Each structure stands twice: as C-alpha cells, then as structure tokens.
A and B are shown apart, each in its own frame.
Chain A
Amino acid sequence: MKFTGRMWIFEDKNINTDQIFPGKYTYDPLTPEQMADHAMEDYLPTFANEVKKGDILITGKNFGSGSSREQAVTCLKAAGVAAVVGVSFGRIFYRNAINNAFPLLLCPQAATFIFKNKESLKDEKIKVDLVEGTISIKDKNFKFPSLKGEALSIFKAGGLLEYSKQKLKEK
C-alpha cells in the first residue's frame, strides 16, 4: 500500500490525547466525522479546518501520550490523515491505532530529518510504502519496522472490530 501526502510538522514532544481530542467531548456520543471537527483542537485549533484527505503528520517524541481515549485515533483518521510518522508514540495510543488500522510509522530518523530541514521541506510531499516499510522525501529514503504477528493480522483485517468478528464466527 503506497501513498503520497502533504506534511504537518508537529515537532513538540508529549503532544497528549487531551490536546488531540479534548476531554470535554469524550462522553458526547459523536460520529467519527463529528470527532474530526475537534481534531487537534487544544494543540492547533485551525487544524480541523485545514487538514485534507491524505495528509501525513510528522510528530515528536511520545505523541499521543496520556488518556486511553480512542477518539484521539478516530478523529485523526476521520479527518483524513493517512498516517503519522513519529519519533515515538504513547503506548495506548499505539495500540488503539493498530486496533483501528490507522498507520503509525515509528521512524525517528525520518522525523528528525524533517524537523532539521523543516524550512526547506515544508512544502514537499512525503511518500509512504506500508508494505516495503519505506518513507521517502525528496531524494532521501528511510526504513521503518513494519507490523508483525497478531498486530499485523488485526491491521490487515481492517481493525480489531473486523478481526473479532472473524474470531467470533470461528468459535
């Protein structure tokens, strides 16, 4: 699976799930599309209006730390974000992403390269190949570890709900 997208560069470390999807909305029954309207609201309020389908986030250390709220993943996915390339991710956020078949690409080398050269790169597009595990920007290429085992099966099934559906049928 290959795709190319515009970049949003979020270099700050510890961008947490409260900033990605504020706690005050977590117990309102919202559709994924409604959640997308609040994506990144407490970090960059203009994001939800300006994000386009296929955009890719480049994030700093420990992106998605904090609460277990899954809407932090759902809102980004519904907003059209195709993938997040990061230095590192919060644990529950990472699990939630696998369970929603949302690609988080652990690639500190690519993220750090983009942060260092953000002025010259900010209008460039980034290419991702999920199968090969590669990220390309201009003439630079980076590798990231692809998913393995059960995590890969869940991702391939289209998320844990689909995966569990199959498991339930097998029972």
Chain B
Amino acid sequence: MIQKIISNVSGIKKPEEGSIVFVEPHRILTHDNSAAIISKFRTIGARKVWNPEKIFIALDHAVPPPDEKKAANHKKIRHFVNEQNIKYFYDCGAGICHQLLAQEGHVIPGVVIFGSDSHTTSHGALGAAGIPIGRTEAASIWAIGQTWLKVPETIKINLEGELAINVFAKDVILQIIGKMRSDGASYKAVEFHGSATENFSISERLTLCNMVAEMDGKAGMFPADKITDKYLENRALDPYKKVLPDQEASYISEESFNLNEITPVVSKPHNVDNVSPISELSEIEVDVGLLGTCTNGRNDDLEAAAKVLKGKKIKKGVRLLVYPASQTVLLEGMKSGVIQTLVESGGELAVPACGPCLGAYGGCLAPGETAISSANRNFKGRMGCKEDTSIYLGSPATVAASVLEGKIVEPPKEVF
C-alpha cells in the first residue's frame, strides 16, 4: 500500500522496495520546533517557502509557554507565518498537531504527510502515509518542496476477534509492541488488517498508528474504508481517491492477534515494549495520572475515563492531569458533561496541548514519583525528571481506575 502511495506521489510507476525516491508531501507538519526549523531554512538561503498552502504548523509542545525562551519561539513562529503567508497555522490552545491535522481535514487517503515529529505515523489511520522526519529535513522541504524516501517493506498485522468491555485500542497496540519489540518495525511500514479493524473508529485507529512509532515503524496504516469516508465527509479539505493494497501485495512478515485474548495491560518502566497484564503486576502505587496526549486525548478517551470516575473522587494525595487533545475535544467534552465529571472527581484541567508527556512543562514529575499515563513513551526521564521516577503507560480507563485507587488496577467492567 505504501509503495502504491509513493508511486502516485513520485510519479514512478513501480518503485522497488529499497530504492530511493523523491517525494513532495501533501502536508508538512511542524510544531514548536518550527522556531529551530526557521533558522535552518534561513541557513539554506531560502527566502520563500515552496508552497504556503502545504505547510501546517501547530503550537502544542510548550503551551502556554512556561518561560520567556519558549514564548520567544512562539513569537518567532507567528512572525514567520505572517511573512510567508502560511495558510494552516494553529496557535496556542487549538490543540495537539496530530489531532488538528486529522480533525481539521488535512489528512486524506493516498497522500504522503511528512512531519517533524515521530508520531506523524498517526496519519496512517486515514489511509495516508504519515512519515516522521527530522528538523533539517523539514527546513529543506519548506525550501525545495521534497525530500528523499527509501521505499520500505511492509509488515501485515491481522486483528481478529472482539475486545472485552474494559479493554481498549491502547491495550491492543501495547500488546502488539510487547510482542514485536521496540525495533520490530524498523525501516518498515505496518498495515493493519483483519475483521476486527472494521470495528475500530478513526480515534482508535489513530491510537494504533500513533504508537507504531514505538516499534520504530516508518508508517502505520489502515486501508481506507467506509469508516474513513464517514469521518472525512464534510471534513476533508481536498478531494481524494483511496489507495488500497493489492490483493496479491507481498509482505515481509505477518503477525496475528486475537483480541479476545487481550486483557488490560501496561508498559512498565523504562521501555514501551516492557508490557505486562495488569493482573500480573505487584502493587504499584501512583502519584499522578496523565489523561490526554496525541495517543489518547480524544472524546472517546475522556469519556471512558469519565465513566470510571463518575460520582467518585480520586484518592487523596494523588493528582490527575487532564489534557484534551484539542479545543474541539474540550468543547464537546463540556457539552457532554465529561469534563464536568473529570473535574468534579479531582482532575486538573489544562489547555489542550502536549503537557508533561515530553517533560518540558505542565506537570513534570518530582524525584521518586510514579505516573500512570495514557501517553506513548515511558523512557527514563521522559516526564522531566529521571531521579528514581517511573512511568507506566495504559489506556485512559486504566489511568482513571488507577488514580481512584492510588495504585495501578484494571478498569472496572461494570461502568462500561
């Protein structure tokens, strides 16, 4: 499927796996790192971006800015956006780049999206090839409109069966990463197939594709289907044509997972592939829960957490950080009462943004603390402090259940 997409975009009929082709993206995504990318863009000697309608910038990684350096970054980016007439700019508070890119209709099937953020893999949820790159490459694309790609091999993942009521897309992808390991998809694309994919919403697909980055995948993709069409109705900014894998497409390997066998799981410190069923954990006390991020900060995520917390208070001494993935998510959550429930139970509601996921601001850990988080990484020091800290990753429902009890527990079945 990724070969066909690259073929469409590069104009090369059948690009072979392993060959290098030059590709112009449908969108190039950057965020607060745009400040550094602007400097690189100037170093190249470029004056004008190649196409101001293809460049997407959202401020999310340090929002609102916690210090003057980060505020100055934002100012520099706003100036550049005006100077270059960048069409798609989302200022502080609009939400997380990946959420906005999908939610605002920028992502359509069959295109290549480059992003100077490792979780650009998310956009395969809509049948596109979302490919993460670095800052220098982003600057180069702004200037010359293309970059090089090695055409990857593809791994097929078959998902069959049905999830138990307290098991979620997050548990599925953690289970997959636990089996395939942190480098299980290095330099490769991952395609999701199987009857269970028909039941996955776009939000759930975003969760799965987002975390393909955690097995080092180049892209994670769901072939577009009627769920994709429904999501894009009145949303897609451009007309699209689906690109689907050929019947006889070849895969370098295949893995199958039976969803009926998956139980609520967590990634234990300090690697995402260190996965364990919650039922097999010893007692793990938590200090803070993080609900949100580009992995799990959408309405269905907040709603699952609210179902667990409805009418209850989180354990005394424990905190719950709530970061909706976008302002739209926040507004919907206010209308539905989900936000009310989360705040009444003791949640600290924050501006839609990345929060402490990457440890730059907004709820960093203190030495010795333990977090349960709906984010995508649990590396040592990831939430801003490495001294004896631990981060466990789980579904939003697991985060909610764990801050209620003050220790990591499975979400209760009876609330769903």
- Is A62 touching B380 in the complex (CB atoms < 8 A)? no
Given pairs A22-B381, A29-B73, A67-B118, 5 additional interface contacts (CB within 8 A) = A29-B35, A29-B69, A88-B183, A150-B20, A161-B140
**Is the CB of A99 closer than 8 A to any CB of chain B?**
yes
Chain A proximity of B96: nearest CB distance (Å)? 15
Q: Which among B38-46, B199-207, B332-340 touches the partner chain?
A: B38-46
* Min C-beta distance of A49 to chain B, whole Å: 17
CA distance A72 to B43 in the complex (A): 20
> Are B381 and A95 in contact (CB-based, < 8 A)?
no
Residues of B within 8 A of A100 (CB): 136
| C-alpha gap A62/B182 in the complex (Å) | 8
A18: contacting residue among B20, B117, B364, B377, CB under 8 A: B377
Number of interface residues of B (CB under 8 A): 50
Contact between chains at A18 and B380 (CB < 8 Å): yes
Cβ contacts under 8 Å, B148 to chain A: 150-151, 154
Chain B residues contacting A18 (CB-CB under 8 Å) are 359, 377, 379-382
- Name 8 A/B residue pairs within 8 A (Cβ), A-sorted: A18-B380, A23-B381, A27-B62, A66-B118, A68-B132, A91-B186, A164-B139, A165-B44
Q: Is the CB of A161 within 8 A of B136?
A: yes
Given A23-B360, A61-B183, A42 and B140 touching (CB < 8 A)?
no
Provide the residues of chain B in CB contact with A159, threshold 8 Å: 136
Interface membership of chain B positions 363-392, coded 1 if the CB is closer than 8 angstroms to chain A and 0 otherwise: 010000000000001011110101000000
Q: Which of B40, B44, B62, B118 is close to A92, meaning CB atoms less than 8 Å apart?
A: B118
Known contacts A24-B360, A90-B186; is-contact A19 B62 (Cβ 8 Å)? no
**B159, CB-defined interface residue at 8 Å:** no
Give the residue among A66, A73, A88 with the most B Cβ atoms within 10 A: A66
In the bound assembly, the distance between CA atoms of A96 and B43 in angstroms comes to 17
Tell me which residues from 104 to 136 in chain B have a Cβ below 8 Å from any Cβ of chain A. 116-118, 132-136
